[in-house]
Amino acid sequence: MAKSLVIVESPAKAKTLSKFLGKGYVVKASYGHVRDLPRNRLAVDVDRNFKTQFQVVKGREKVLEDLRKAARGAQAVFLATDPDREGEAIGWHLVQELKPPKKAVRRVVFREVTKRAVQEAFAHPGSLDERKVNAQQARRILDRLVGYQVSPLLWEKVRRGLSAGRVQSVALRLVVDRECEIRAFVSQEYWTIEALLAAGAPPEFRARLFKINGGKVEVHTEDEAQTLLRELEQQRFSVKGVSTRERRRYPVPPFTTSKLQQEAVRKLRMSTRRAMMIAQQLYEGIEVGKEGAVGLITYMRTDSTRVSTEAVGEARNYITERFGAEYVPERPPVYKSAKAAQEAHEAIRPTSVYRDPSAVAPHLTRDQLSLYTLIWNRFVASQMPPALFDVTTIDVEAGRFLFRATGRVTRFQGFMRLYVEGTDEGVKPRAEEGQEADTNGENDGEMTLPSLQEGEVLELRLLDPDQHFTQPPPRYTEATLVKELEENGIGRPSTYATILQVIQNRDYVEKDKGKFKPTEIGEVVVGLLVKSFPRIMDHEFTARMESVLDEIEEGKADWLEEMRRFYGAFSGWLEEAKTGMENLKALEEKTEETCEKCGSHMVIRWGRFGKFLACSAYPECKNTRELASSNDRLPSTDGGGGESAESVDTGRSTGEEERVCDECGRPMVLKRGRYGLFWACSGYPECRYVLSPDRKEGGATEPSDEKCETCGAQMVIRHGRYGRFLACSTYPKCRTVRSLPLDVKCPRCNAPLTQRRSKKGRAFYGCTKYPECTFVLWQRPIAEPCPECGASFLVERRTRQGQELRCVGEGCNYRKPAA
């Protein structure tokens, strides 16, 4: 008897399903998308109803051939791809390629990979949702039209290799706008005054100056503070009033995708990309002892907080058994999802709360266990009652001054016995909708206050003035940027991690102590795009486009009509930008400086690493100088284009000891080259002495998202004799090291490539899965796809004519000068 073919995206999911379905089914993986738009051309015919020219994804030919053979002899074909737009589109592309009989194709949807959910889905199969497919197609075409028609403008006006995107560019604008706010911020000095007071009974307590003459306290200078202190020392302190009230703190909803990403960054120091990768593993199935492979969490791409009745009932039973009946609320909490949430989905939760973290710990990696524990704790806590506090406020009168002290005592822990949501730096805790927010610092901890009566006289033990300065808004972390994207309706849960990765890979932003800081080129790109494409760069317009895609999925809008409406306006903006966008390549900013080689004026030009000083007589005179961010003019270098390195601000004050060259005694300058920061002698090219920041800074490190496989501590990036590498942060206690992965994937196994050294010290690039995978390159790979054959990267080679990029794909001879 012929078997039915079941197609899923990943081998891990296929393995798990095989154990649930029995002998009548063959389960195979498509390994993600099997078709996509080609990388080297637009492939969208805007004049013929946006007809697309899809092609098979490189490397999927053998996968498709295997699926075709299986489909030809199958009784039926079940498409069990993920329950979202991307999953629906993958199923649609599979049908286009496999061409099975229409009546033999079935769509099965399940949101947890458990035996019960899978068997229920196969008992009630449906058909592909054409509206979801249309919504995904519309998104793909929109992104292609913007990316492939705006990016060449940036290549022409700034430099090759830059890219623009319908969503990524708006996300980048958020980072740049925040940096502008920080630069424009003017810090203001202010002072607070606290009094240490004692009553007849202990303990002593602190109260802060709250009002002066019944109005707001404004103390801006030390002189003002000292004047108030002298006056306060003469006052009589007495209790004006004591009030106690009950306060409730409610649990937060179970995780949506964005909330999971934010909390993984805050609590686990895990990047959004890694968090989603680990969540995918937990969803698709993990071998759990005798139970075998089973999905531990529900589908991890969701914006809904809805939870099934069965899951709520199971959680309430578990809580009763483990914590007692008092930890089960009278009625299950109900949480309100965002307006655009797809309520057909559930929140992210464990597929069974009885698989608690301690039970599955032996079968999970450290990261898998950390993320699963976070999801499990959040879900169970969401089904528990609120925490109860007694909050006491004491007002103390001292002449025309009013001091206030607030203390909190926990009466009932409620959900806080299991879980408390993390907070972001510089962001006050904010309650979920319908809940009371933390105020007056009550969330900072509990303070015990003495028992006091109104009118009771207090003894002043100490007056404590404290100087403060208002702070600028903080730079975005991965958590706060995801939060901002979500609140502004930019992108969707499945795209947040990709957006953050793209703006980093393009060198538009860099991380400084875990916070996003725009690079010079990132700011330039945003500036040009905002001037030429103000609507595309407007977050409200982007959010509206996301709403339109939702309306297409819901059948409320026609995708072709919406595409025509968008492209009609966009094509006009594009034509204006072709002539109106500023050409930085041709821009020469004159300076008062003269070239010490030929006496011509020096001009500021744009290069690969930003601005630099160049002789206006180029190409007759090729003298260049690096333009320091402090505006100091550095000694000249005699290079062809002045783009080998860029000077950066050393951050040194005028009174700080100057770094000098160990070989010639000249000043050292901090530069940024292709491989990061380094100290170089200002006497270059006569003196070529360089020094890594590590050797001068006493082992300076950079943070990373990796964990040590030996002890579980955070790994950091260090600089050694042969470049950067990952090392355990607990060194010398733990001496684990490993190579730093590159942003280029191995063409054989798709694992990251890394730089290595041969026995003779020569650099080469190999797969991180060595010795299982032995792929190597002797030329440095660059994360730029080949426009001719679609290879995922090019390599950098030095020729007599200079540096060039070339493709190493079989039979492909593509090459171009390095930018």
Q: Which two tokens stand for residue 270?
A: 């895990």
SS3 113: coil
Could you confirm whether 618 is annotated as catalytic? no
Which residues, 6 or more positions from 86, have their beta carbon under 8 angstroms from its beta carbon?
A: 33, 136, 494
Instruction: Mark residue 399 as left, alpha or beta (left: phi above 0; alpha: psi -120 to 50; beta: remaining).
Output: left
Residue 304 neighbours by CB distance under 10 Å: 21
- What CA–CA distance (Å, rounded) separates 561 from 168? 25
DSSP 425-450: TT----PPTTSPPP-TTGGG------
Type of residue at 397: E
> What DSSP element (H or E) covers 725?
strand 723-728
Q: Determine how β-strand 77-79 pairs with β-strand 4-8.
A: parallel
* Residue with token string 């099975």: 100
Q: Hey, what are 291's tokens?
A: 């139970």
CB-CB contact of 132 with 344 (8 Å): no
Structure tokens at 633: 């003019």
Provide CB contacts within 8 A for 482, sequence distance 6+.
258, 261, 262, 265, 272, 496, 500
The whole-angstrom separation of Cα 445 and Cα 399 is 30
Sign of the torsion angle spanned by Cα atoms 539, 540, 545, 550: positive
Report how far residue 8's alpha carbon sits from residue 5's, in angstroms, rounded to the nearest whole number: 10
* CB half-sphere exposure, 406, CA atoms < 13 A: 15
Q: 17 to each of 8, 289, 370, 529, how far by Cα in Å? A: 9, 17, 25, 47
Which string of DSSP letters, residue by residue, matches 129-162? -HHHHHHHHHHHHHHHHHHHHHHHHHHHHT-TT-
Whether residue 685 is preceded by a cis peptide bond, meaning omega within 30 degrees of 0, is: yes
Token pair listed for 487: 């609140």
Q: Is 182 helix (H, G, I), strand (E, B) or coil?
A: helix
Specify the residue for token string 């082992």: 699
Cα separation, 746 vs 769, in Å, equals 9
Catalytic residue among 148, 250, 299, 618: 299
Hey, which bits of 73-232 come out as E strands?
A: 77-79, 105-107, 189-198, 205-212, 215-216
In this structure, what token pair is assigned to residue 406? 């607030």
Q: How many CB atoms lie within 10 A of CB 216?
A: 8
CA distance 507 to 517: 10
Could you give phi then psi for residue 486, rounded to 5 degrees?
-65, -45
Q: How many angstroms separate the CA atoms of 283 and 289, rounded?
A: 17
Q: Let me know: does 254 contact 378? Beta carbons within 8 Å.
A: yes
Closest CA to 247 of 69, 77, 407, 44: 407
Measured between alpha carbons, how far is residue 339 from residues 343, 345, 542 in Å?
Answer: 10, 14, 16
Residue among 524, 413, 401, 501 nearest 460 (CA) = 401
The H-or-E segment that residue 456 falls in is none
- The counts of H helices and E strands in the chain are 18, 39
DSSP, res 214: T
Cα–Cα distance list, 444 to 115, 230, 408, 429, 439 (Å)? 45, 30, 10, 10, 10
Residue 750 three-state SS: coil
Q: Catalytic residue numbers?
A: 299
